[in-house]
Structure 1
Amino acid sequence: MEADMPRSFKASRLTFCMLVFAAVYPIVTGLAYLTQAAARDWEIWQRHLVVVPIIVCAMVFVIIPNIQRLLAHLSEPANPPCARSREENRGGTDGGDGP
């Protein structure tokens, strides 16, 4: 199935993956250090019970929407074809002596 995907789709997925990693890794590391210092006598599963919901909420509500917005902005052409055709239709379809 992956052989059928266009090359740009694979590249954008890889870019998305790397950006998510770059945003999530510092959060995970920082929270691990904080919980390690604050809850030394807790078991690992108890620390993760506190850390994971914070990370998931950050990913779902902040990180992923912002990365998607960034990638959508970067992938938009500067002057999309539909905008060009609208500009062309404004001035030249009614006889040619428009403003």
Structure 2
Amino acid sequence: MSDISSAQTPSSTTAQPAAGASLRPNRSRQFLVTLFGVYPIITLILYLVLPLTAGWPIWQTTLIVTPLMVAIMVFWMIPQIQKRFAGFIMRPVRR
């Protein structure tokens, strides 16, 4: 019985911030990193889509570009930013 109570739970083995400090994203830094990621991607998408949609109303072109950009952001760019720039973006919460 004592073996069960002395076993570590999954939550006790995960890394925690030191001394109870919690982290949250610094929105300004997150904005900058996201901006530098979005700009080249949206520019590339526009270079690819605009010749195919020449003469279309802007709302129709935007209807094509928006789902592409959102999918790239959600499934690739944001996870990469979180993985590669976490040390730059995440800051301790001030109390």
Q: Which has the higher helix share?
A: 1
1:44 corresponds, among 58, 61, 81, to 58
Superposed displacement of residue 66, structure 1: 1.1
Task: Classify the secondary structure of the residue corresponding to 1:41.
Answer: coil
Q: How many residues align?
A: 68
Q: Which amino acid aligns with 1:26?
A: P
| 4+ runs deviating over 6 angstroms | none
Query: Could you state the TM-score of these two structures normalised by the residue count of structure 1?
Result: 0.57
Structure of greater Rg: 1
Structure 1 residues 75 and 10, CA, compared in 2 at 3 Å: closer, same or farther? closer
If asked which structure has higher relative contact order (CA below 8 Å, sep 6+), I would say 2
Q: Structure 1: which 5+ runs fail to align?
A: 1-8, 77-99
Instruction: Return 51-60 or 36-45, whichever deviates more.
Output: 36-45
Query: Could you state the TM-score of these two structures normalised by the residue count of structure 2?
Result: 0.59
Q: Structure 2: which 5+ runs fail to align?
A: 1-22, 91-95
**Matching of residue 71 in structure 1 with residue 56 in structure 2:** no
Distance 1:11 1:56 in 2: 21
